[in-house]
Amino acid sequence: MKRTLNNTILKLVVAGATLLPSFAANNIPEERIVKKVRTELLTMPFLSIFDNLSYRIDGETIYLYGQVIRPTLKSDAANRVKRLEGVTKVVNEIEVLPLSPYDDRVRLAVARAVYGVTALNRYALGANPSIRIVVKNGNVTLEGVVANEMDRNIANLMANGVFGVFSVTNNLQVEKGRA
């Protein structure tokens, strides 16, 4: 009888110990997880202005989106986010852009055109430039945040003026609270 009681208590302790991490994860504020995921993605080595990463949080699951030029960035992003406290699952939907010398030339030319304009060169400053240039098969997508609508339009015009660009999709957002 005593042995059965001890085995039952041991089983309850083991079961309780396996449930603790899931309860602890539920108590982590979502703002804290958002900040940690953002930090992990932005501090990745080799992340450049030609890579665009975004994410969505659904409970304890993180969904990763975007485009990268290096295949290792896709797996690195998932591995960095997966190890965070409070994250139980990572769905990695990051697209690896095709290797193309043509696209590489277009990337550099668009970067020079956009960041070379006096009105926009401030966006190139810092470790995390706010204008991202995604090129796939000669088609350019501008991602990120700018201070005003004029900067958004200038970036679009400069990217459209680059030789070899087939189309430009301007997804630049204007900072909230600014006109």
Fold held by 101-174: Histidine-containing Protein; Chain: A; (3.30.1340)
Fold held by 29-96: Histidine-containing Protein; Chain: A; (3.30.1340)
What is the rounded CA–CA span in Å between residue 110 and residue 59?
38
What is the rounded CA–CA span in Å between residue 50 and residue 156?
16
Whether the domain at 29-96 and the domain at 101-174 fall into the same CATH topology: yes
Q: First and final CA of the chain: distance in angstroms?
A: 76
Residue ranges of the domains in the chain? 29-96, 101-174
Q: Are 62 and 28 in contact (CB under 8 A)?
A: no
Q: In the chain, pLDDT over 90 holds for what percent of residues?
A: 73
Q: What is the pTM of this model?
A: 0.79
pLDDT at 30: 82
pLDDT at 176: 83
For 149-172, write each residue's pLDDT tens digit. 999 999 999 999 999 999 999 999
Distance (Å) of CA 51 to CA 78, 90, 133, 154: 15, 19, 7, 21
